[in-house]
Structure 1
Amino acid sequence: MSETCIIIGASHAAAQLAPSLRQEGWAGLIIVIGDEPYAPYQRPPLSKTYLQGEKGVDDLLIRHQEAYAKHGIELRLGERVEAIDRESKTVTLQNGDVLYYDKLALCTGARVRKVSLPGADLEGIHYLRNIDDVNHIKAHVGEQKNAVIVGGGYIGLETAAVLNKLGMQVTVLEMASRVLARVTAPEVSEFYERVHAEEGVNIQTGIAVSGFEGAKRVMRVVCADGSHYPADLVVIGVGVLPNTELAEAADLATDDGILVDSYTKTADPDIVAVGDCTMHPSELYGYVRLESVPNAMEQAKSAAATLCGKQKPYTALPWFWSDQYDLKLQIAGLNRGYDQVVIRGDRQGSRSFAAFYLQEGRLLAVDCVNRPQEFMLSKRLITQQIQIDVAKLVDDTKSFKELVSA
């Protein structure tokens, strides 16, 4: 009798996990359940090329539905899982259907963190996480209209850059003293604030939003210091929360994510978890939760092996990227615990440099702006924990490849 693997969440992790299961030898049923009406799609372009109108929905799809059918993968889209019963090994859908599983994969991702400020339910106030979110935002885009972005993280700045290109008057309001404060050094924050200012975006830091005003739709954003900003469109980007509710209700261990081991196994031997929703061990950084497409893909490959009774630990180095204007930011590693930042290149006079984060002389992470060679080669320096001569690291007159080889 063939076994059934159910994958909850039609995420990027699910799009990798389902075909990887076939590659690892899973011969039974594979069912992917997603609450959106779309097959798994790429999310990074949402705040960039999709918002700008350069890509359509079909361009975002990781695979077309025919590809899933070819591998015998059943997609149940527009359906939501309400509960997991580990004892009976069933999942109950919102429509009342009960499905049996032999193995279960939680690829539930994350959701936007919402604000509960006065006026937050006015028309014209949006969050950006899925296709429908961006479609609603597009309806309010127009030249010379005012857009206010609440939050100066990557999503906020990427959205600001695109809306600026589309002719809107854009203001970014960030509560912290600088943009990207949680994820980069002050030198990198300063660079991005300068570039956005040069492009015509108004960035205000150290400012707290206290509410939104308007009749039926938003007209202005009000701040705690008494200042206010006109708004035809507001996009709120203040982080995400992992979707752990199903796991918690099923009595699986969670801690800012579903706890898994290096093989993606939860406390239940028949349940794995993959992607943004997981808290997993890293040899270099301890337990981490990553919001990253590369993490979802590599973790999914490990999960596929686990579900097929094989052992392929997930050990990939975290990496990320962000596109704003002509800037390609590539990040390798995590900079938590750094005690020194050194810069290679001219971040004041150009749009190309690398910021290296070190701890006791060893490289933890690097932020590379239009520096693909430094990004690629730094991965080796980080994973091998090589001691680095800082003077050579910052010498931009010498080839970075030669430095790494030495």
Structure 2
Amino acid sequence: MSDADQQPIVIVGASLAGATAAGELRNDGWTGGIVLIGSETRLPYERPPLSKGVLLGKDETDVAQLHDQQWYDDNKIDLLLGKTVTSIDAAGHTVTLDDGSQVSYGKLLIATGSRVRRLDVPGSDLAGIHYLRTAEESQALDDAYVAKPRVVVVGAGWIGLESASAARERGSEVTVVEPQSTALASVLGEEVGGLFAEFHRQHGVQFRFDTGVEGFEGTDKVTGVRLSGGEVIPADLVVVGVGVQPNTELAAEAGIEVATRENGSGIVTGSDLKTSVADVYAAGDVVRWDHPLFGRSVRVEHWQNAKDSGAAAAKAMLGQEVAHDAIPYFFTDQFDLGMEYAGEIPRGTLYQVVLRGDPKSGAYFAFWLDDDRHVLAGMHVNNWDTIDAIQDLIRSGKQVDPARLADPSVELSDV
């Protein structure tokens, strides 16, 4: 692609995906303009440290920053921070900002990410109720943890469990409320999710499963969480972690195809991350793309996908052949547990769980197999330098013998 007569490449979303794409454009030789637009006033940052080191009081939020201002200056990336894109004119190849100004583009990348789902129950606007998505929210929660408050966490997903472990490590009483039957049930299933719940119990976390939240008690500040059935749990601080939803509205209003929530949500693209509209691409939490390895569309809300899809979208915008086939990956740190997970289990899939090693030892594996004994996903707990072997099993598509997979004496490469 010749740069001389090209309009700038505009990236909507100064996120990890957006900033990664900008860097990849320069690495791959694009010398034209790059405009990176973000609603937050902070330089682009990544989110994992916000629910890990920052909540533990070990790190400042600045540790999450991707690059300093000099990097953007050196790479001639025009940062428009504190600006929100309000509309996309796909035919005119322009975006309009909240101050009324317009920016023209030759190619456009939508990397608008996700936002937290909020509870709409009585008392939800009380002080002391926290969500965790942005650097500011992480800092506010870190500050609040210093007082060792009584903490109630709503939601036993990844954010909920990481928030709970950080609060417990810092000396708080912690209760987690979850409407499903165990922790991480929708992600890992009841068997493996139950292992995480038991691990947290061993560290003093209490759980209320099969329980919803009817409202929050308090006058100016939260003092309790009212559960379904009427019981009130005293709380000085509440963390709500009930999932996120992709920011697809901008794309939908521009006539770009967006999946419905029933179909998994997200901006629909091919494996090349091109949307249904010419010269418009998507990356990060917001994209639902055709995965060439899995043979189905997927949307992934994790850090690694933001990096991988941002880089892939940059290459696609430069005219390179792209088939984004990265295997979804994420990690978590809770108390003395470190876990890495790879793979993707389609919703509604029947699977067999194979455990390798004894969970009571604190180091084990779990694998999810479909009816044909293909590995859909796998994870390790405190078994480092094994995630590549797990991904190799998934990518190979071969049938495995569950007994050999469960046997620690058999190398994963020989299963």
TM-score band w.r.t. shorter chain: over 0.9
RMSD: 1.4
Deviation at 1:339, TM superposition (A): 2.3
Report the residue type matching 1:404 in the other structure.
Answer: S
Tell me the equivalent position of 2:329: 319
Deviation at 1:2, TM superposition (A): 4.4
CA change 1:63–1:131 in 2 (3 A) is same
* Per-residue Cα deviation, 1:214-247 (whole angstroms, up to 9, x for no partner): 0111000001122111111111000000000110
Contact 1:285–1:334 under 8 Å retained in 2: no
* Per-residue Cα deviation, 1:285-307 (whole angstroms, up to 9, x for no partner): 61111001211211122211111
Tell me the equivalent position of 2:141: 137
For 1:171 and 1:285, the matched residues in 2 are separated by 40
1:369 paired with 2:381, answer yes
CA change 1:116–1:285 in 2 (3 A) is farther
Tell me the equivalent position of 1:69: 73
Deviation at 1:172, TM superposition (A): 0.4
Report the residue type matching 1:318 in the other structure.
Answer: P
Tell me the equivalent position of 2:313: 303
Q: 1:177 aligns with which of 181, 201, 209?
A: 181
Contact 2:7–2:104 under 8 Å retained in 1: no
> Structure 1: 5+ residue runs without aligned partners?
none
CA change 1:310–1:144 in 2 (3 A) is closer
Q: 2:277 aligns with which of 257, 268, 274?
A: 268
For 2:295 and 2:133, the matched residues in 1 are separated by 27
Alignment of structure 1 residues 219-258 onto 2, 5 Å: 219-255=223-259, 256-258=265-267
1:259 paired with 2:268, answer yes
CA change 1:38–1:276 in 2 (3 A) is same
1:391 paired with 2:400, answer no
**In structure 1, the residue corresponding to 2:233 is in which secondary structure?**
strand
For 2:295 and 2:58, the matched residues in 1 are separated by 37
For 2:200 and 2:321, the matched residues in 1 are separated by 46
For 2:191 and 2:181, the matched residues in 1 are separated by 13
CA change 1:212–1:285 in 2 (3 A) is farther
Contact 2:128–2:238 under 8 Å retained in 1: yes
For 2:18 and 2:345, the matched residues in 1 are separated by 28
Report the residue type matching 1:183 in the other structure.
Answer: V
Contact 2:148–2:167 under 8 Å retained in 1: no
Tell me the equivalent position of 1:279: 288
Q: 1:350 aligns with which of 352, 361, 379?
A: 361
**In structure 2, the residue corresponding to 1:91 is in which secondary structure?**
strand
Report the residue type matching 1:366 in the other structure.
Answer: G
* Per-residue Cα deviation, 1:251-309 (whole angstroms, up to 9, x for no partner): 10001100111111001121100010011111316111100121121112221111112
Deviation at 1:371, TM superposition (A): 1.9
Q: 2:120 aligns with which of 116, 123, 126?
A: 116
Deviation at 1:399, TM superposition (A): 4.5
Alignment of structure 1 residues 196-235 onto 2, 5 Å: 196-235=200-239
For 2:171 and 2:188, the matched residues in 1 are separated by 28
Contact 2:290–2:297 under 8 Å retained in 1: yes
For 1:327 and 1:41, the matched residues in 2 are separated by 25
Contact 2:181–2:190 under 8 Å retained in 1: no
Size of the aligned set, in residue pairs, is 402
For 2:10 and 2:351, the matched residues in 1 are separated by 45
Tell me the equivalent position of 2:339: 329
Contact 1:2–1:27 under 8 Å retained in 2: no
Deviation at 1:24, TM superposition (A): 2.2
Deviation at 1:338, TM superposition (A): 4.1
For 2:186 and 2:76, the matched residues in 1 are separated by 43
TM-score w.r.t. length of structure 1 = 0.96
1:289 paired with 2:299, answer yes
**In structure 1, the residue corresponding to 2:125 is in which secondary structure?**
coil
Choose 128-137 or 113-122, whichever is displaced more: 128-137
Deviation at 1:137, TM superposition (A): 1.9
For 2:287 and 2:206, the matched residues in 1 are separated by 36
Q: 2:60 aligns with which of 53, 56, 62?
A: 56
For 1:298 and 1:107, the matched residues in 2 are separated by 12
Report the residue type matching 1:128 in the other structure.
Answer: L
**In structure 1, the residue corresponding to 2:308 is in which secondary structure?**
helix
Deviation at 1:361, TM superposition (A): 1.2
